[in-house]
Structure 1
């Protein structure tokens, strides 16, 4: 899994739609990442990026795991004519275990610009807000965990069918 310690919470200050990339609007975002008021520009096609959003950013120099499962260092680049000095992270990149791929990971307002992102998805058991209430932390598995074999998938499907059938029969017997 990529080292997420360099990732930061960023606050989107402005969003400007530039062009279409892969059929999606390319957005040039000005983002405050907490470095003494310094801002960076991030080019993205993520649909949930809006002015005022608090998102997890991998700034230049950070390491991510790309779609091929290889480590990649973020560098300053130009995307569709827009200079970009970072990348918005999705839940998969952060190892949060849930969330849509390609949707920028959002964090709650208690995280300031420049803060380290939460270790687990906000709102899930074991997050920052739950730590104060005494709820135990949940270990979230990272990226690229073992995929199920065909046999394992078939076994799970069969177990689900049996459970569904048993629930139906229980419902019928209650009606009688």
Structure 2
């Protein structure tokens, strides 16, 4: 089953925790960069275009290994939170208006604060980027997912969007790509 809620509850809780508590030793560059980060930029209200373009860059066009993804995200200005969550998952944040990126061995997601126009832009992006995408009925265990599409075959990728209310007031919008073995190796 596809588990959007699990991704959100694990990574979302970590990302919303005190940033300094998740950054590791105080002598690391990551600690100091995250310590200086504006809290509103953990899940910023990314514009609809920035939101889907960032998802496309990292989760669709990005590399197929977690190690290569780490390098790409760091070169793009992202810093990982120290805490990991299930299946080797990590949350990467950047101190600007780009969404957080959450990756694990089976999924990659962009997560941002809700903003007008995101849902429509995500739907148009999915329809254009994946013209053969098939909507999935709500009987699937979607754990809060608003919409799910299957893309490709053997096995298909799942692309989903969801709204999630985290421990801090305010809704988050997520677009997720999930597939067993999405990332080929470490």
Q: Same fold (TM over 0.5)?
A: no
Q: Which has the higher helix share?
A: 2
Higher relative contact order (CA 8 A, sep 6+): 2
Q: Which has the larger radius of gyration?
A: 1
- In the superposition, the TM-score normalised over structure 1's length comes to 0.25
Q: Which has the higher strand share?
A: 1
